[in-house]
Amino acid sequence: MAANVSSRNTDAKKEILTRIRNAQKLSNAPAYVEPVREYNTSSDHTPEQLREILVDRLLDYKATVVETSEADLASNIAKILAERGAKDIVYAPGLDESLFAEFDGSSRADDPAADPRELGDVGAVVTDSKVTSAQTGSIVLESGDACGRRALSLVPDRHVVIVRPDSLVYGVPEMISRIDPEKPATMISGGSATSDIELVRVEGVHGPRDLIVMVVH
């Protein structure tokens, strides 16, 4: 019985593919069509407009947003971590340690060779970002010193990420154009969350539940 069903499925597949090929021949369609990739890789938005759009998207994704100047970045990082009750942090090795001089707790640069499971016990991690699309609220972390290894943004429950003005663009095509295709990259928009078929929301399944975005102006 199973063999007969398999045979009928195979015959049906062949018939469908044959019809498609015949239809293509009758339509005189070219054998190959060069796809059009005239993507917009720039925009006319001002830096202020880009920040406004980004903040709106991030808040919609239930991320915490802190707008700050570069001069106040260190104090604002320390303030938000104190509000969260974080006692220790691990930061991407490419970040300047002076960013955490005002943090009233222990801080250390991440060791890429350390067991990533240890990151699950830290109060928070801090990384920079490679590029961000304001239109979609997508923040790209590219593996390297500034953003750290992928585990740094996936294992802990709280992630503080810095978005600087020169890395903020409008659309996805421009965002993609700035990513190194040979390096692993992670895109984040808000705290990790997923829903089943009954729309039961579960947070923290595949990343931090608490995403804090420091938007620098």
pLDDT in tens, 114-159: 999 999 999 999 999 999 999 999 999 999 999 999 999 999 999 9
What single-letter DSSP state applies at residue 199?
-
Answer yes or no: are the C-beta atoms of 128 and 164 closer than 8 Å: yes
Q: How many CA atoms lie within 13 A of 179 on its CB side?
A: 24
Can you give the length of the chain in residues? 217
Q: What pLDDT, on a 0 to 100 scale, did the predictor assign at position 28?
A: 79
Q: Indicate whether 5 pLDDT > 90.
A: no
Q: Is residue 36 part of a domain?
A: no
Q: What is the domain extent for residue 211?
A: 47-216
What mean pLDDT is reported for the chain? Answer: 91
Q: What pLDDT, on a 0 to 100 scale, did the predictor assign at position 112?
A: 93
Q: Is residue 131 part of a domain?
A: yes
Per the structure block, which two tokens stand in for 9?
Answer: 């499925």
Q: Is residue 142 part of a domain?
A: yes
> Mean pLDDT throughout 92-105?
96
- Compare 171 and 31 and report the one with higher pLDDT: 171
- Domain total for the chain? 1
d(CA 39, CA 181): 18
d(CA 31, CA 22): 13
Q: Is residue 147 part of a domain?
A: yes
Q: Is residue 59 part of a domain?
A: yes
Tell me whether strands 138-142 and 185-188 are parallel, antiparallel or unpaired.
antiparallel
Q: How far is CA 166 from CA 47, 163, 212, in A?
A: 9, 9, 19
d(CA 25, CA 169): 44
Q: Is residue 111 part of a domain?
A: yes
Q: Is residue 28 part of a domain?
A: no
Looking up residue 80, the CATH number of its domain turns out to be: 3.40.50.10420
Q: Is residue 42 part of a domain?
A: no
Q: What pLDDT, on a 0 to 100 scale, did the predictor assign at position 3?
A: 54
